[in-house]
Amino acid sequence: MPAPSFRAAATRVRVPATSANLGPGFDAFGLALGLYDDVVVRIADSGLYVDIAGEGADTLARDERHLVVRSMRAAFDRLGGQPRGLEVVCANRIPHGRGLGSSSAAIVAGITAARAVTVGGTELMDQAAVLALASEIEGHPDNVAACVLGGFTIAWTDEGHEGHDAHAVTLAPSTQVVPIVFVPANPVLTEVARGLLPPTVPHADAAANVGRAALLVEAITRRPELLLPATEDRLHQDYRTPAMPESATLVATLRAQGVAAVISGAGPTVLALTDAGTADKLLAEADPSWAAHRLELDLEGAAVLPLAP
């Protein structure tokens, strides 16, 4: 492959927050939400400059260890070579360590930005290749699929294949579905939440989740009145309760009120899928110890946008 050429103009990439699992769809389902990180990238003469505003500004590395930068480097390798220098400016709005896909957003932003600043990058790396690389870096495809594609996504991996082994389809959620997120003050590491999961589960629990996950596809796309039964889970949420007891209590409280509430991803954010009227009621009654937000559904996924004036 010949050495790539790079665009001189700065490029802006916008990536959405995501919620994975949605109850029964463990490591398979994802939903893109209207809360965004922005990354602006420019090819420089030399070196690396990283600036961060918003979430993680006080804690994230500003060097090659930054996840956006690492993802860009991986993408540049696939695209044929590294640029001589990089300037990366991140405006982060997605909370970190809360189960809203902040790491997936960083990964997808880096790959998308690298592709955008490379001349012919879209032809050299199609959307399937973006998803495959993002899944490879993240380790699983559920969040990155929703971040790349937008909407409601179903992701899977072909084990034993090299290259593009992560796949996903995207479906449009019903316009009647209104997401509410309840974000707690303290994070929970994904590694901690995953470490609480048992190596095996009862066959009856697995069978129950298969049925609910199948129902959720119908509920979230066409019949939102079925969301409460469709979001029942036996595979992961109860096992994670010791790491997030307050989140588990909130899920149980909301579900007792007829609201389809789940742990968002690995938690501890709680996601409620409801209608407009119920959303307003939940926001009005929300405990002030939680940051409660009504979000739009994102249907576009990762996007390259004009620079803001």
Which residue is associated with the tokens 């509920």?
219
Residue 96 annotated as lining a ligand binding site: yes
Is 252 annotated as contributing to ligand binding? no
Give the closest residue to 79 by CA, choosing from 24, 31, 122, 33.
122
Is 100 flagged in the annotation as binding? Answer: yes
Cα separation values, 51 from 20, 103, 219, 268, 298, Å: 28, 17, 42, 28, 26
Phi, psi of 15 (to 5 degrees): -130, 140
**Is 308 strand, coil or helix?**
coil
Q: What is the CA radius of gyration of the chain?
A: 19
Q: Is 236 annotated as a binding residue?
A: no
Long-range contacts from 204-208, C-beta under 8 angstroms, 24+ separation: 205/234, 205/235, 206/234, 206/235, 208/232, 208/234
Residue 103 assigned ligand-binding role: yes
Annotated binding residue 104: yes
Q: 206-215 long-range contacts, Cβ below 8 Å, gap at least 24?
A: 206/234, 206/235, 208/232, 208/234, 209/24, 209/26, 209/233, 209/234, 209/235, 210/24, 212/23, 212/24, 213/24, 213/25, 213/28, 213/29
Token output for 254: 């909301």
Is 95 annotated for ligand binding? Answer: yes
The alpha carbon of residue 152 and the mean position of all alpha carbons in its chain are separated, in whole angstroms, by 11
Distance (Å) of CA 90 to CA 44, 217, 248, 262: 16, 34, 32, 30
Burial class (CB in 10 A: 0-12, 13-18, 19+), 128: middle
Residues making up the annotated binding site are 95-105
Annotated binding site for ATP: 95-105
